[in-house]
């Protein structure tokens, strides 16, 4: 049984979240809190497995409550955030402090997608609550890393591009990786992180501030440059088109197609391998589901190289698990070691 504490100053949101998750027999809402002060007290008192935490509350906001909880009684916390740029910046701060994920505050308004929202929320709460906090060394600013080579890959082709896919828990994992890369990183890096449209821009800006490499939200039609990290915008799918040997451009389409997630990891990876064949390094990080599995398969089949994050550092071992169980991961390593593996591979 996963014990949940719901923290929100809105009775409507408390009731909505409770009703969405209470139908599942493996979930028990053990308490509610109306502000950060109550949240800190009830985490200590009720020992929940997971907490949903509103950001803006009276007396003590969600950020301050999160800081106190992580320093006294660490527990997985999912932030409940409005889908605005300002809220995105606060939510990203929460993820750096120790929150594992976030959900949209206006989820109750999305009546058309309520069934899917309910399923996703329940799955996140169960998987995160049962696993607990992952063991990850926090990286808050640029820290160049050079790790010794480990076992050789089956392919020895030169890597011309790196592509990374992530979802739940991904922002923290990506920060851990990107902040360790040197300024003169020799190839472009393309990232598809499942994230709402208002969040990808601030996320790219934050990574750019913390990293030696340039990080930006990708723009439709721009040309790829070596040493630049491109974050797929949340409004659509990112793919690449190789106009000629020396120039590759980015395409952003808002057509969702048959893909559940936007931006899709598979859309990105399949386009990259189509244009770069076996000269691709594919990396799959923490996340629900199996987005990226088809893309990683094609990278492997074309003679490229593949890395999956190991279970011990994943917030949710879904996307990497699908890749590992399919036998297509050349290496399975904790997130703390992935930057070193990328550096040594390119």
User: Is domain 161-345 annotated with CATH 3.40.50.180?
Assistant: yes
Domain ranges of the chain: 2-131, 161-345
* Three-class SS state of 163: strand
**Which of 98-112, 131-145, 262-276, 303-317 has the least mean pLDDT?**
131-145
Question: How confident is the model over 28-49, as pLDDT tens digits?
Answer: 999 999 999 999 999 999 999 9
Q: Tokens standing for 342?
A: 């990328």
In this structure, what are the phi and psi dihedrals at residue 181, rounded to the nearest 5 degrees? -80, 140
Higher pLDDT, 151 or 11: 11
Using a 10 angstrom Cβ sphere, with 0-12 exposed, 13-18 middle and 19 or more buried, the burial of residue 112 is exposed
Q: What is the pLDDT confidence band of residue 78, given thresholds at 50, 70 and 90?
A: very high
HSE (side-chain half, CA atoms, 13 Å) at 178: 32
At 94 the pLDDT is 93
At 163 the pLDDT is 98
Strand 305-309 relative to strand 280-284, pairing: parallel
At 151 the pLDDT is 40
Which residues are annotated as catalytic? 167, 194, 291
Helix residue ranges per DSSP H, the chain: 11-21, 36-46, 62-72, 85-97, 114-131, 170-178, 197-210, 265-276, 293-301, 319-325, 335-345
* Three-class SS state of 170: helix
Question: How confident is the model over 96-113, as pLDDT tens digits?
Answer: 999 999 887 765 555 556
Question: How confident is the model over 232-290, as pLDDT tens digits?
Answer: 999 999 999 987 777 889 999 987 677 778 899 999 999 999 999 999 999 999 999 99
Q: Average pLDDT of 16-32?
A: 92
**Residue matched to tokens 């009703």:** 19
* Angstrom distance (rounded) from CA 228 to CA 231: 10
Using a 10 angstrom Cβ sphere, with 0-12 exposed, 13-18 middle and 19 or more buried, the burial of residue 255 is exposed
**Average pLDDT over the chain, rounded to an integer:** 89
* Angstrom distance (rounded) from CA 259 to CA 262: 7
CATH superfamily ID and name for 2-131 = Response regulator (3.40.50.2300)
């Amino acid at each position: 049984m996963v014990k949940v504490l719901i923290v929100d100053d809105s009775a409507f949101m408390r009731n909505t979240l409770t009703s969405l998750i209470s139908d599942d027999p493996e979930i028990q809402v053990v308490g509610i809190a109306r502000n950060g002060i109550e949240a800190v007290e009830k985490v200590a008192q009720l020992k929940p497995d997971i907490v949903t935490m509103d950001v803006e509350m009276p007396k003590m906001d969600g950020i301050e409550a999160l800081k106190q909880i992580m320093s006294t009684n660490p527990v997985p916390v999912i932030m409940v955030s409005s889908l605005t740029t300002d809220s995105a910046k606060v939510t990203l701060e929460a993820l750096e402090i120790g929150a594992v994920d976030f959900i949209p505050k206006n989820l109750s308004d999305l009546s058309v997608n309520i069934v899917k929202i309910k399923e996703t929320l329940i799955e996140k709460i169960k998987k995160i609550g049962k696993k607990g906090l992952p063991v990850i060394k926090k990286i808050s600013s640029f820290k160049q890393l050079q790790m010794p080579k480990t076992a050789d890959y089956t392919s020895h082709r030169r890597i011309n591009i790196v592509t990374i896919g992530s979802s739940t828990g991904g922002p923290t994992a990506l920060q851990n990786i990107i902040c360790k890369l040197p300024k003169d990183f020799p190839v472009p890096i393309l990232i598809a992180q499942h994230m709402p449209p208002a969040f990808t821009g601030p996320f790219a800006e934050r990574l750019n501030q913390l990293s030696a490499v340039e990080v930006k939200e990708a723009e439709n039609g721009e040309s790829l440059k070596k040493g630049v990290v491109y974050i797929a915008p949340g409004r659509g799918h990112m793919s690449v088109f190789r106009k000629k040997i020396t120039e590759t451009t980015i395409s952003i389409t808002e057509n969702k197609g048959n893909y559940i997630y936007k931006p899709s990891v598979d859309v990105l990876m399949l386009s990259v391998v189509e244009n770069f064949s076996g000269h691709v390094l594919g990396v799959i990080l923490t996340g629900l589901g199996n987005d990226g599995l088809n893309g990683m398969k094609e990278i492997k089949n074309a003679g490229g190289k593949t890395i999956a994050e190991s279970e011990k550092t994943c917030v949710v071992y879904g996307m990497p698990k699908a890749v590992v169980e399919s036998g297509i991961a050349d290496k399975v390593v904790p997130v703390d070691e992935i930057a070193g593996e990328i550096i040594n591979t390119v």
